[in-house]
Chain A
Amino acid sequence: MTRRVVVTGIGVRAPGGRGVKEFWDLLTAGRTATRRISFFDPSPYRSQVAAEIDFDAESEGLTPREIRRMDRAAQFAVVCARDAVADSGLDFAATDPHRVGVSLGSAVAAATSLEREYRVLSGDGAAWEVDHRYLSPHMYDYLVPSVMPAEVAWTVGAEGPAAMVSNGCTSGIDAVGHAVQLIREGSADVMVTGASDTPITPIVVACFDAIKATTPRNDDPEHASRPFDASRTGFVLAEGAAVFVLEEYESARRRGAHVYAEISGYATRCNAYHMTGLKTDGREMAEAIRSALDESRLDGTAIDYINAHGSGTKQNDRHETAAFKRSLGDHAYRTPISSIKSMVGHSLGAIGSIEIAASLLAIEHGVVPPTANLHSADPECDLDYVPLTARERRLDAVLTVGSGFGGFQSAMVLRRPEGATA
């Protein structure tokens, strides 16, 4: 008897709003949260726009000690975990901690703190042999960022399996997929899982500048993220986090939990092609999609909405479009597809989880969020990308995908819980 896995709690910190409701309002209104970078002076950089979060750690309920100790990405993860736990209605105090695990995704983890400490230790790059007398007692936790899942485990009282899944830009799907596998195999009954990344920091902006992956559209930050549009020029860097409570289906049902969706299938593949490049044929992403559908025991025609990776780089948008056609055939042309990165940008390892949150809310509310800033699609991207305006539609099965450096291609299928109406 296969154990099934459902989502019962969501916590989100995404650009443009605080918490799940404001996140969903932004998405369904088709508003964008991209702006000129305010965290530092971006004028020496090629790309000067980002989707930042106005995060006030104190008002989020973090103590001064927690704020001093934790990197920004860990802070995001912890507040999202608290929200997800509260939303789930699960009494964690009455749950066996040994059966609760944590799987947290991040691509660049403590980048913000690494950069801050580097500047102090090196005198802004003056010394190669850095001065240990200025060493922060937390420096090790920025070197080795598995303190992030540890902080989440302490927050929720988890003593089961815990780890960080760090697969670059698919981390947010893969961390949740990892959690699903742990519940299915019986290693845990409850998993607190999701992803967090806070990469809007000079080193990360500079490294995407170098490969020209981020947009140089600096004159119009609100409309800089344009997935699938013929005028797109690269992605917009972002930060954010989303964390979920996953439970074994029978126990969630027994306690009468509100179930957002079942995670019925997950798969990942590598393209073994190039650390940053994609082939145009979408072969490996298509294989991940097919495998996730198989695990869900669904035919491709059952998919009602695809939450795309949609980063807004030419190679991604074409690669992904090819992958949808390759895996779903003609059904790809009939399926609404959208990229929320048009509104909240690309938060690297976190975005996969933020997109899972969007997919869960789409099922819950029966609304497909749009692709903002899409006025004239790239002729080679000839599917239905839901431009500008959200659509009402009953969604029984949603596919969300991710693609990232290292060649990772991941896919997850979410299904409406039985008996739910919307």
Chain B
Amino acid sequence: MPIMTIDDLQRILVSCAGEDDATATVTDSAGRRFDDLGYDSLALMETAARIEQEFGVKLPDDEVNDARTPQELLDLVNGRLATA
């Protein structure tokens, strides 16, 4: 049972990096690359920091960098939470 859901990620991404009307929500595009969704490295750093605070999890920089899609980031977070 995942602790962080795709809706949580959507909410945090919007709060940290904003949203454009034109872009699809990550809920619909969990497998698309962050680049294609318009999220740059700063946006992901801000998002990772927010997830760390909210879910009390530590996300190593290189593993965050390796997460290229919302689904991969979600898997990373939930994997970490499961082993914590």
Contact = CB atoms under 8 A, between A and B. Distances in A.
Interface of A: 210-212, 274-277
B61 A276 contact: no
B41 interface: yes
B8 interface: no
A210 B49 contact: yes
A211 B61 contact: no
B82 interface: no
A212 B40 contact: no
B42 interface: yes
A231 to B, nearest CB: 15
A210 B48 CA distance: 10
Sorted nearest first, the 3 A-B pairs with minimum C-beta distance are A211-B45, A276-B42, A212-B61
SS class, residues of chain B in contact with chain A: helix
Contacts of A212: 45, 61
A277 B42 CA distance: 9
Interface in B22-72: 40-42, 45-46, 49, 61
Contacts of B49: 210
B40 A277 contact: yes
Contacts of B40: 274, 277
Nearest to A276: B42
Contacts of A277: 40-42
Given A212-B61, A277-B41, 11 more contacts: A210-B45, A210-B46, A210-B49, A211-B42, A211-B45, A212-B45, A274-B40, A275-B42, A276-B42, A277-B40, A277-B42
Nearest to B49: A210
Contacts of A210: 45-46, 49
6 contacts: A210-B46, A210-B49, A211-B45, A212-B45, A275-B42, A277-B40
A212 B45 CA distance: 9
A210 B42 CA distance: 9
Nearest to A315: B41
A269 B5 CA distance: 44
A216 to B, nearest CB: 9
